[in-house]
Every structure is written in C-alpha cells, then in structure tokens.
C-alpha cells in the first residue's frame, strides 16, 4: 500500500487579510486542576473544562512561568475561516508555543512571556499589524 504525504494548507494574510492585533498588558498564568470542576477563587480570566480536568487562565505576577497575549482588534466574524490559523501557523513554524482562548469577537493568543518580542516579529513578518 502506498503512503501519501498530505501537506497542510498554509494560512497567511493572502487568505485572511492582515489582522490588527494588540498586546494585552496583563501577564497570564495557566493552571491545570485535574480534580476540579470550578476554581476555589474568583481570580480567573477564562475556564475550559475537559475530561482531564479544568484549565484556568488567570492574571499572574511577574515571576514564574508567565504568558503574554495578542488580541485581535478587527478579527472579523466567526464565519471567517483561517483567521486563527493565520496567527498560530507562523508561530508554530517558528516553534513558539501558544495557548488560545477564543471569544465571540476575537481570539486571545498567548505565548510564553520571554518569547513575546520574537512572536511579535514573527507575526509582523507574516503581515499582521501589532499596535504599540
């Protein structure tokens, strides 16, 4: 039996248009609570419940493993395919880890705080605009 290699499509600004992003001023921490259905405190930003437990996104102090976020200023609608892929594709190609929390209006793409400048450069090189 012959094995065929399928090349995934590349999502770039040619397909989705240049996105205008802003860097969220907060720093974030990601927590995994395997045996919880809801956090004990109310200091969270986003919650995702899955069979493996609860993932909690919260504002973090400037120490420890922190994440910084890009948020779409003019992200378009939920019916625009490839919008998120146009952001995370270039980051993946540059081996920059991401965590994504989606809202009705846009996506919050988190990257490790120590790689924020590199991620900004990658997204600019891909044609996106980042507000200062």
- Please write the tens of the pLDDT for every residue from 19-75: 899 999 989 988 888 887 777 777 777 888 888 888 888 888 766 789 999 998 766
CA dihedral of residues 63, 67, 68, 70 (deg, nearest 10): -170
**What does the angle CA 59 – CA 132 – CA 28 come to, to the nearest 5 degrees?**
10
Say if strands 53-59 and 44-50 run parallel, antiparallel, or are unpaired.
Answer: antiparallel
Reported as a pLDDT band with limits 50, 70 and 90, residue 2 is low
pLDDT at 79 (0 to 100): 65
pTM over 0.85, yes/no: no
pLDDT at 95 (0 to 100): 97
Task: Express each pLDDT in 69-91 by its tens digit.
Answer: 999 876 666 667 788 899 999 99
């Amino acid at each position: 039996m012959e094995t065929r290699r399928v090349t995934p499509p590349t999502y770039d600004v040619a397909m989705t248009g240049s996105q205008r992003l802003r860097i969220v001023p907060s720093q974030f921490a990601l927590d995994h609570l395997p045996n919880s259905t809801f956090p004990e405190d109310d200091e969270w930003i986003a919650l995702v419940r899955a069979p493996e437990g609860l993932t909690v996104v919260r504002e973090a102090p400037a120490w420890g493993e922190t994440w910084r976020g890009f948020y779409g200023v003019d992200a378009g609608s939920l019916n625009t395919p490839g919008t998120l892929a146009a952001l995370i594709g270039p980051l993946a190609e540059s081996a920059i880890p991401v965590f994504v929390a989606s809202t009705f209006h846009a996506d919050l793409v988190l990257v490790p705080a120590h790689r924020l400048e590199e991620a900004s450069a990658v997204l600019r090189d891909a044609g996106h605009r980042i507000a200062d």
